[in-house]
Amino acid sequence: MDEQWGYVGAKSRQRWLFYAYDRLRKTVVAHVFGERTMATLGRLMSLLSPFDVVIWMTDGWPLYESRLKGKLHVISKRYTQRIERHNLNLRQHLARLGRKSLSFSKSVELHDKVIGHYLGSVWKTESMVTPVFATPILTTSWLA
């Protein structure tokens, strides 16, 4: 799990994206928008409850520790590298998430819809398998 900062209209109007990322399938499992509070984190956790998550891997944000108390919770940069890379990809693909950009969201509704659409359809439909694993095993020798 991780959170990513964005803004609507002015940098003082912060809008946070909280999301859970499956490291094995390299895809976003669930996401919510809101303030950087326990309530927003709670909404994300309720979306994840049907998945029976065994191990939670996060950065050292204190609210994660208090919300995940009693669960197997790993705090490490080693295990959050992929989701942090995903944050960079989001910033690269969606100009409205850039920190210093001429492109920014003017309304909360469009901000949430554009990013939600990207996470829900565009990102999930892209192939997350490397070409080596996507290549079928040869049935005949190419040397013959």
Domain CATH number, residue 46 = 3.30.420
Q: Six-digit token pair at 118?
A: 């990207």
In one-letter notation, the amino acid at residue 136 is: P
Q: Six-digit token pair at 52?
A: 């029976």
Nearest Cα neighbor of 34 from 118, 103, 112 is 112
Q: What percentage of the chain has pLDDT greater than the value 90?
A: 24
Number of domains in the chain: 1
Assigned domain for 22 exists: yes
Assigned domain for 14 exists: yes
Task: Write out pLDDT tens, residues 27-84.
Answer: 888 899 999 999 999 999 999 988 888 889 999 899 999 898 888 989 988 888 888 9
pLDDT of amino acid 129: 52
Q: Is the pLDDT of residue 135 over 70?
A: no
Assigned domain for 130 exists: yes
Inter-residue contact 33 to 7 (CB < 8 Å) = no
Q: Say how far apart CA 103 and CA 82 lie, in whole Å.
A: 26
Mean pLDDT of 108-133: 70
> 104 or 89: which carries more pLDDT confidence?
89
Q: Is the pLDDT of residue 101 over 90?
A: no
Assigned domain for 139 exists: no
pLDDT of amino acid 125: 47
Q: Does the predicted TM-score (pTM) go above 0.85?
A: no
pLDDT of amino acid 124: 57
Assigned domain for 141 exists: no
